[in-house]
Amino acid sequence: MDKDAVVARAKDYIAKEKDAHFRAEVEQLLSKVNNNSPEDLKELEDRFYRNLEFGTGGLRGVIGGGGNRMNTLVVKSATQGLAAYLIKAFPDKAKAGATEAGKGLSAVIAFDSRHYSVEFAEASALIFAANGIKTYLFSGMRPTPELSFAIRRLGCDTGIVVTASHNPPQYNGYKAYWNDGAQIIAPHDKGIINEVNAVTEIKEMDKNEALAKKLLVIIDREIDEPYQDMVRSRLFRPELIREKAKDVKIVYTPLHGTGAFHVEAVLGSLGLKVITVPEQREGNGDFPTVAFPNPEEAAALDMAIKLGKKENADVVMATDPDADRFGTATNDGRGNFTLITGNQAGGLLADYIFLSLKETGKMPPNPAMVNSIVTTGMQKLVAELYGAKCFECLTGFKWIAAIMAKCEADKSASIVFGTEESYGYLVENEVRDKDGISAAAMMAEMTLYWRSKGKSLLDRLNELYEKCGYWEEMGISKYFQGPQGPSVMQGIMDEYRKNHPKTLGGIEVVRIRDIKNGADGLPPSDVLQFYLKDGTVVSARPSGTEPKIKFYASCCTGVGSGGLAAAREEAGRKLEAIKKDIRRVIGD
């Protein structure tokens, strides 16, 4: 992109952006570029070589001025496009709303602790209001799963949560939801993207006017309390918790995000002792105590584990900033804590849910769970232990929600659990996205249940390995920043498609599943899967929310005469060899 084109885009942005801070950022860069600063020209180009794309999940990017950044102008354009699509999708409701209060279109908006989350959420609410869409806005930060719950409870047509989930502090984002409480999928995703790209004029309304006209309604307790009641209602053994609550001590961290309010309230109301890491309890968009506010990262739990050791806690729990992801570590009985991976926690929760439904006589007809195609194969075997099915879907909870909706509609199965390897779990039907709050409550009950049987979570996990084989997973990610990043990632995927590896880690590839044009009933997605002779599955996919390519390997070894120790050693050797082969292609 030449200098004149970059400068022209920057000037156009300055003319449209009403936020003084973001406008000043670009003005200062432009001034330096005019003084022939090559480094500042490079920075300006990165901000304007493309517009931040409104993808199938919404927006996510670095906060700052420019078309390729998260700022008020980009957020307003996205919301105006979403509003325009809603009006076209529901013309009768749009028309009714203009003549009869309470009959028109409606939306609900939540936000997390990140920088500019409040401003982006309010700006979106006032654009909806200007388009005649009644908007419920939470009074303070709330988790993503509560936003999904609120859409369904309030009967809204759409919802937005302003968050960048587990990304570093310089990021923010914007997730869009449909009236079923799930993130948007076809055909609405492409329709909304087209409307966003076509925006030429943004309608806005003054906040006081929106409040006076009841087009903006501030909410909190009327959703908070029913949501907490719902989380408690999904537990199986409230009487066990009441009797044995003092037997389990929990250390918890919200990682400076939205989780503390609900986790403390729900678990505290059950009588469980929850000690929240004080340095990480309050919302803080700088996330000052962690490099990444992501419970998938072992380092993110360092402070919680340190406190867990001091308090001799039974379990350590963490949620990410918007509290949809959940991580945990368990006391090994010797005062040390073992991290439980997303795949392992999903297997334990699946086992506990099916076991509890069976023990309490509440197993529904045609029981089933859902997990993503890059999640461990162990969970399918766990489901089969209870005569249940395990459906597979693409990565992302919107696909789990889609299967839930389909099964509800055709009554083909009763979905009781959804999970994916990236620390996402859904143990209820009232929410249609991963829910770290309800996962924390269920994990607490499960810990207490196995404690009452004289076992730890690790003991139960080892029992499942004995029944299902030892499973171990590995993930590899490589970032490709800048204008060339997408083409580099696409080149890697193209090369794998043209020249399929014959072996990975020295193990023969016996089957390849390419989902680019859809496969096995799955919608099209840029995913390649390599099935190895020993049952290991290796998957490759570019991330849908970050400039990186991701690889997943799921390996199973039998538990023979050498026991679990030998099985772990064998799995480790296989995965290390596979990692070397992948690194040869993508680099370190």
CA angle, 106 as apex, 102 and 109 as ends, to 5°? 135
Q: What is the C-alpha to C-alpha distance for residues 292 and 281, in angstroms, rounded to an integer?
A: 16
Residues that are catalytic:
165
Q: Are 273 and 311 in contact (CB under 8 A)?
A: no
CA angle, 420 as apex, 431 and 240 as ends, to 5°? 60
What number of CA atoms fall less than 13 Å from residue 524's CA on the CB side?
4
**Centroid of chain to Cα 37:** 39
CA angle, 18 as apex, 17 and 24 as ends, to 5°? 70
Q: What is the C-alpha to C-alpha distance for residues 486 and 526, in angstroms, rounded to an integer?
A: 13
Strand partners, 319: 326
Closest CA to 457 of 322, 349, 295: 349
Instruction: Give the list of residues 6+ apart from residue 437 with CB closer than 8 angstroms, or none.
Output: 143, 145, 146, 227, 231, 259, 262, 263, 266, 319, 323
Q: Are 235 and 432 in contact (CB under 8 A)?
A: no
3-state secondary structure of 7: helix
Q: What is the C-alpha to C-alpha distance for residues 13 and 77, in angstroms, rounded to an integer?
A: 12
Closest CA to 109 of 141, 139, 137: 137
3-state secondary structure of 551: strand
Other Cβ atoms less than 10 A from the Cβ of 517: the count is 8
Q: What is the C-alpha to C-alpha distance for residues 258 and 494, in angstroms, rounded to an integer?
A: 40
Here the tokens at position 569 are 């050693």
Q: From start to end of 299-344, where are the E strands?
A: 315-319, 326-331, 337-340
Instruction: Give the list of residues 6+ apart from residue 75 with CB closer than 8 angstroms, or none.
Output: 59, 120, 123, 124, 162, 174
Amino acid at 349: L
Closest CA to 416 of 380, 389, 449, 385: 389
Q: What is the C-alpha to C-alpha distance for residues 437 and 473, in angstroms, rounded to an integer?
A: 25
Here the tokens at position 37 are 């600063």
Instruction: Give the list of residues 6+ apart from residue 533 with CB closer than 8 angstroms, or none.
Output: 507, 508, 509, 510
